[in-house]
Amino acid sequence: QKVTRSESSQAKKSQHAEEAIFYVNCRAAYLTVLKSSLENIKSREQLSLVLQQAGRNPSQKTVNKYWTSQTTTLNFDDFCTILKKEKPATKTELLEAFGKIDTNNTGYILHDELYKILTTRGEKMTQDEVTAITKLAGFNCSGKLDYNKFCDLYVTTSEQCCKTAREKLEVDSRLKQQQFGNQVETSSEGITLPVSKPSPSPRISRKTDLKLAPTKGDSRTPSRPSSAQSCKASVSVTISMGASSNRNTKLIEPETMKEWQCAQSKGCFYLEEDGEIISHKYKLHLPQRSTVCITIKPLNIRQVEGKSYHWLSVDTALYILKENETQENLQLVSFTEQQTKEMFGWKGELGSGIYWLLPFTTGCRLKKVKPQITGEATLVYRGEDGELALTKEFRATLLDIFETIDLDGNGLLSLEEYNFFELRTSGEKCDEEAWAVCKENFDMKKNELTRQGFMDLNLMEANDREGDPSDLWVTLLSLGYNKALEMTEACPFVIDIYAEKCKPRIKAMYLEAGSWQLNRAICKSVVNKGEAKVMDGCENIIIYTYKAGRRITSVIENKSENKVIIHVNNEQSKNCLSNRGLTVFAVEVAPKSMMVSQHVMPLNEQEEWLYNCVHSLV
């Protein structure tokens, strides 16, 4: 037992040491760009620069993932969370990437080939930028790039950035002693450890004094050593749900709204590598006050008899927010809580004006799974004439993709629709000039790409790589397909809006992760409609639980002036599936804030399920 305790103690010390080093590197990089840890990152360019100082080399796609169209600032805690997700590239990873280009394994890449790749694919570089690389003497000779030496320089430069930032922090005692973000420095057994303090100010101003706790990474162990005091305060919630409880109040049938005017748009939930879910977001315009019915359901695209389709079981919801003076000032109107089979909807009266429709899925059914696939589907082949062609299976998959990204369902891809596809697969947009080139080379109607044009576009990509399907697989994987051409990490959906007195208009505006507006809307809906329980022995902690159809959501509200860590235990639940992926976990809730604890759904909808959850203060 003594040996076990000693090993456990050593492991904890090692973990603390690693954590301390990580935060030293974080704050060293942060203060290289910003004057104070209390100062926020205010632009996309600033985020890119501070990530570079931390030894990362972020692509535009990576920066866009964290700095969306609705981001105004990021604080030091956000920066730490990003660094935990975005690991620096290793030499092995870089060599593997170059190895895909150097198919003969010579260790070199011709400058001409490098120029072609860097200026035409991915995040395109300019001619001057590529020339600057090829002119560096250390790893270029005879018109070739020695990519092994280049990788050595890349890794060394990355490490040097971190080292320089740390040295600057060590020299500048004023910076070293400064309070950092939500932390101050204390000493524990010779190791400088960050200790949590109340956040100095909310990231986004609200009219209410409550702010939403950040949701990124909140399912993991708290990101910094906790200063929370031990406490036995707890609250227990038990809800028994029968199999028939999976279907809520039926919506009014569309047949009774034949005379109503309708608008429709498709969209998709995509699962990111880190488990985050992104989706399209929409603006709805109503020219006059009207009774409306808004529905969302998984998109029922091509199906093969006898084959199961994972995305059809994914839960969907829409949160309806009213736009007032500015886009930042959105007010929750309602959400789709009524259910008919797989369709969720809301029916009520809306005044004239602009509304935002924010799609949502709990993540209970859409989550990362270990691949069971051993083989890889064939995408292209050479015919008897030696020409490349797309296989039957790949063509069918491309038609499914076309059906999904054709948001307005008119059988053609507009530039806007195509750009959502491009943003998802390459992180870029296609401009008017490039679209004009597409028009010259691929089949279009009314300046929109046809299905055949979309097929030919993918065939051209295969021809560009002389049959190598690597780029095609990048596209497929980013759209949620596995190596067997099964869509397992995405869920296409369709939104219908019926209005009794006017013609509604819906338009997809963004493709991004859940915004703070969506997080706030979820919390508010649970607080407004759910059952509240004050934690025994700790009146400042309230647990709200809301059940609707096949979903139960719990929200934690922290009214105290201090950060709290809540232990969540679902061990007594039966036939339940949590979006956390864990039976027991802990969440950190900032002072004067509220956050989602978990979403729970039945594992098997045909059977009864029991939700039994205990929230305890650590």
The kind and range of the H/E element at 267 are strand 261-271
Residue 396: inside a domain: yes
Tell whether 327 is covered by a domain. Answer: yes
Tell me how far apart the alpha carbons of residues 551 and 565 are, in angstroms, rounded to a whole number.
24
Q: How far apart are CA 134 and CA 148, in angstroms?
A: 14
Is 398 inside any structural domain?
yes
Considering the domain architecture, whether residues 57 and 122 belong to the same structural domain is answered as no
- Nearest Cα to 183, choosing from 557, 563, 617? 563
Q: What is the pLDDT of residue 6?
A: 60
Query: Of 30, 56, 85, which residue constitutes the final position of a domain?
Result: 85
270 and 410 fall within a common domain: no
Is 363 found in the same domain as 497?
yes
pLDDT, one tens digit per residue, over 477-489 is 999 999 999 999 9
Together in a domain, 350 and 436: no
Residue 160 CB partners (closer than 8 Å, separation 6+): none
Q: Is residue 193 part of a domain?
A: no
User: Is 554 in the same domain as 415?
Assistant: no
Closest to 79 measured CA to CA, from 30, 141, 139: 30
In this structure, is residue 13 part of a structural domain?
A: yes
d(CA 178, CA 234): 36
Residues 429 and 529 in one domain: no
Residues 363 and 263 placed together within one structural domain of the fold: yes
Residue 408's pLDDT is: 95
Q: What are phi and psi of 456, to 5 degrees?
A: -65, -35
Does residue 482 sit in the same domain as residue 510? no
C-alpha neighbours within 13 Å on the C-beta side of residue 385: 3
φ, ψ (nearest 5 deg) of residue 473:
-70, -35
Domain membership flag for residue 67 = yes
**Cβ neighbour number for residue 559 with a 10 Å cutoff:** 16
CA–CA separation, 51 and 162 (whole Å) = 10
Do 442 and 449 form a contact (C-beta atoms < 8 A)? yes
DSSP code of residue 378: -
Compute CA distances 436 → 117, 312, 433, 447, 576, whole Å. 22, 37, 5, 9, 52
End residue of a domain, out of 156, 171, 197: 156
Low pLDDT (below 70) residues in the chain:
1-17, 37-38, 137, 169-232, 244-255, 303-308, 325-328, 371, 373
Q: What is the distance between the alpha carbons of residues 243 and 221, in angstroms, rounded to a whole number?
A: 34
Query: Which residue from 335, 263, 261 is spatially nearest to 508, judged by alpha carbons?
Result: 263
List residues bridging with 504 in a β-sheet: none
Which domain does 25 fall in, by range?
Answer: 2-85
Distance in angstroms (rounded) separating the CA atoms of residues 449 and 421: 13
Token representation of residue 205 = 């101003």
Q: Tell me the pLDDT tens digit for each residue of 287-338.
A: 999 999 999 999 988 766 656 678 888 999 999 999 876 666 789 999 998 8
Q: Is residue 178 part of a domain?
A: no
Tell me the pTM: 0.65
The first and second tokens of residue 596, run together, are: 């989602």
Residues 387 and 399 in one domain: yes
Would you give the DSSP letter of residue 312? G
Which CATH number does the domain housing residue 12 bear? Answer: 1.10.238
**One domain for residues 284 and 340:** yes
Which residues are paired to 331 by β-bridges? 322
In a domain, 90, yes or no: no
What confidence score (pLDDT) does residue 334 get?
94
Contact of 296 with 345, CB cutoff 8 Å: yes
CA distance linking residue 169 with residue 183, whole number of Å: 16
Instruction: Check which CATH number belongs to the domain holding 405 and give it.
Output: 1.10.238.10
How many structural domains does the chain have?
A: 5
**Strand boundaries in 288-371, DSSP class E:** 290-298, 317-323, 330-335, 338-340, 343-350, 353-360
Both 364 and 496 in one domain: the answer is yes
Question: In terms of domains, do 504 and 541 share one?
Answer: no
